[in-house]
Amino acid sequence: MTTRQTDTVAAARSDARAQAVSVAATATKSMPYVPAATSPNIPPDVSPDALTWAETVPPAAYTHRVVARGTRIRLEDPTGDACAHLFLLRTDAPYERLNVADTLKIPWQAYLGPGHPLLSGDGRVLATLAADTSRHHDAFCGTTSDAWNIAKYGDARPEGPTPSGQSLLTLAAAKHGLTLRDLGPTLSFFQGVRVAEDGALRWQGSAGPGTSVDLVAELPLTVLVANVPHPLDPRPGYTVGPLRIHAWRSTPTGPGDESFTASPERTRAYLNTLDDWESRS
């Protein structure tokens, strides 16, 4: 009689540990650095002791994290091919979530850049785009759907070689007890889109390698990110590069900050945020 690798507790344990070593050898790049201070790519202006999240998200992968109010999150594009499709939900009230239409309407600005508030449908600021060296982003197209990926690449499965952003964000949401119904249109960072004279949407590509954006969480957030090609990317292959993420303890936007007072509409949104937060704290 042949003894299988899992016939006994000891054998099963040895088999599981052997598989873990094998997976670690091939998937280390897709895992967060624990503790975050062990990241090999810590930005020079960030103290390792302040880090709360450090991760490299490989192509065709996703990540998710709950962050506290005041957390500063830096997304970096080391190769010029990353495309971070971002969706935000308020952790303590997940029915309040990113509203892309209001994110463009309240600042009277269709293109994302430094100081841009990311709003919920309740008129509150979920996060502020505090710094931006890329300026190649998109708030029009959202992420790729299963139908889009099947038509272009022949497959959209999250475990396949060409997953859609929709399929990956659905998995990320499930980690927090959320479903596809809890998701909405996303923002995309590092692959730009502009509206042409004729009204058509034109893909601009990236600003090149080494650019970054910083987001400041104005409320406790559930952050969902899929790193997949932009839907308007004309390249025939499934082209996307790694995405680096570092987050650290910082402070939310306050009345003395330029973003807070940039316009009457923005001031009202930040005041709405403070009013609701202080009543819950």
User: What are the pLDDT digits (tens) for 53-111?
Assistant: 999 999 999 999 999 999 999 999 999 999 999 999 999 999 999 999 999 999 999 99
Q: How far apart are CA 192 and CA 55, in angstroms?
A: 23
pLDDT (tens digit, 9 = 90+) per residue, 170-179? 999 999 999 9
Q: Is the pLDDT of residue 26 over 60?
A: no
Q: Is the pLDDT of residue 249 over 80?
A: yes
Q: Is residue 29 part of a domain?
A: no
**pLDDT category of residue 9 using cuts at 50, 70 and 90:** confident
Q: Is the pLDDT of residue 231 over 90?
A: yes
Domain ranges, residue 236: 55-280
Q: Is the pLDDT of residue 16 over 90?
A: no
- pLDDT at residue 127, rounded to an integer: 98
Q: Is residue 42 part of a domain?
A: no
Q: Is residue 195 part of a domain?
A: yes
- pLDDT at residue 10, rounded to an integer: 78
Place of tokens 């509409």: 265
Q: Is residue 3 part of a domain?
A: no
**Averaged confidence pLDDT in the chain:** 93
Q: Is the pLDDT of residue 24 over 50?
A: no
- pLDDT at residue 18, rounded to an integer: 62
Q: Is the pLDDT of residue 194 over 90?
A: yes
Q: Is residue 9 part of a domain?
A: no
**pLDDT category of residue 275 using cuts at 50, 70 and 90:** very high
- pLDDT at residue 6, rounded to an integer: 61
Q: Is residue 274 part of a domain?
A: yes
Which range among 26-30, 117-121, 250-254 shows the weakest confidence by mean pLDDT?
A: 26-30
Quote the percentage of the chain above a pLDDT of 90.
88
Tokens matching residue 14: 């040895």
- pLDDT at residue 281, rounded to an integer: 81
Compute the average pLDDT of residues 211-230: 98
Q: Is residue 99 part of a domain?
A: yes
Q: Is residue 85 part of a domain?
A: yes
- pLDDT at residue 126, rounded to an integer: 98
Q: Is the pLDDT of residue 232 over 70?
A: yes
Q: How many domains does the chain have?
A: 1
Tell me if the pTM is above 0.75.
Answer: yes
